[in-house]
């Protein structure tokens, strides 16, 4: 294997090990690495990222399944909502926003506020005596999952990186959020990758995924995701959320600067 494949394998392993404990596949952070370091062209970078999720996802899901976490009704609701959204997002990505400049702007718009919100919420002192927020209704979950599926289809992240912070912010424990978000990410990534493969037959340009690199990144993520899920009970949740928020803010700021320049 050449250096690019080895770099993708290492990146997938390290990123997934750090993000799987909080329900994020790692694709949200792997995407900038593929664009700026590994040289994957746009829009092929989006289906390549979805392919990473497909290969990497079973690692963490296998570990969470062993504890029975995937039988939660939250998982089924998120999966049902995100699947139609990711198909719509893939079509939008190919035919509406194929340019790299627009794509970098989307990265900044999605990641920067998400990262800042996560950091501020994690660092805010908790108030004693306040009641835990109620779990979102089935209708709210369906609408959220559909919107996140569209964004995930455009961005190539599967949606877990958005679902996780939102649901955790509503008061759901990470032990429920992480498996459900990762399951939704895996399901939408399978559908999204197949959608892009079909669109590649009717659309010019780099639309099909980079199969070799996507599988290499995914193989690393398969190992890293399992390790991250295994370590979840031993890791301090506030520190992990703060780390994810900092990374998201930094990546969003970098791409915002590139758009401005």
pLDDT digit string, tens, across residues 153-202: 877 676 777 787 778 777 788 788 888 988 998 998 888 888 878 887 87
pTM as predicted? 0.78
Q: Is 80 exposed, middle or buried (0-12, 13-18, 19+ CB in 10 A)?
A: middle
Residue 44 has pLDDT above 80, yes or no: no
pLDDT value, residue 124: 64
Closest CA to 21 of 232, 234, 182: 232
pLDDT value, residue 143: 92
Determine which helix (DSSP H) or strand (DSSP E) holds 14, and give its type and residue range: helix 3-19
State the residue for tokens 């392919």: 51
Closest CA to 244 of 169, 184, 191, 190: 169
CA 253/CA 247 separation, integer angstroms: 10
CA 36/CA 257 separation, integer angstroms: 14
- Pick 9 or 236 by higher pLDDT: 9
Determine which helix (DSSP H) or strand (DSSP E) holds 155, and give its type and residue range: helix 138-155
CA 161/CA 30 separation, integer angstroms: 12
Domain extents for the chain? 3-123+133-260
Q: Which residues contact residue 67 at a Cβ distance below 8 angstroms, ignoring those fewer than 6 apart?
A: none
**CB neighbourhood size of 133 (10 A):** 10
**Cβ(114)–Cβ(162) below 8 Å:** yes
User: What is the average per-residue pLDDT within 92-113?
Assistant: 75
Predicted confidence band of residue 7 (pLDDT cuts 50, 70, 90): very high
**Cβ(108)–Cβ(251) below 8 Å:** no
């Amino acid at each position: 294997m050449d250096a690019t494949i080895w770099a993708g394998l290492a990146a997938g392993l390290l990123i997934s090990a750090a993000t799987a404990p909080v329900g994020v596949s790692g694709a949200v952070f792997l995407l900038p690495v593929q664009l700026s370091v590994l040289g994957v062209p746009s829009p092929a970078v989006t289906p390549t990222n979805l392919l990473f999720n497909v290969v990497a996802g079973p690692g963490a899901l296998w570990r969470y399944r062993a504890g029975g976490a995937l039988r939660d009704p939250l998982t089924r609701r998120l999966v049902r909502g995100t699947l139609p959204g990711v198909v719509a997002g893939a079509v939008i990505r190919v035919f509406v926003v194929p340019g790299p400049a627009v794509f970098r702007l989307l990265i900044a718009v999605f990641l920067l506020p998400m990262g800042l919100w996560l950091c501020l919420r994690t660092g805010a002192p908790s108030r004693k005596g306040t009641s835990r927020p109620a779990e979102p209704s089935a209708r709210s979950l369906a609408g959220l999952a559909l919107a996140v599926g569209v964004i995930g289809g455009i961005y190539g992240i599967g949606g877990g990186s958005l679902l996780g912070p939102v649901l955790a912010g509503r008061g759901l424990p990470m032990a429920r959020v992480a498996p459900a978000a990762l399951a939704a990410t895996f399901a939408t990534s399978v559908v999204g990758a197949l959608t892009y493969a079909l669109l590649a037959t009717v659309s010019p340009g780099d639309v099909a995924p980079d199969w070799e690199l996507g599988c290499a990144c995914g193989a690393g993520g398969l190992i890293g995701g399992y390790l991250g899920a295994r370590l979840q009970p031993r890791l301090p949740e506030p520190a992990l959320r703060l780390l994810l928020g900092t990374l998201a803010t930094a990546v969003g700021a970098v791409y915002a600067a590139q758009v401005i320049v």
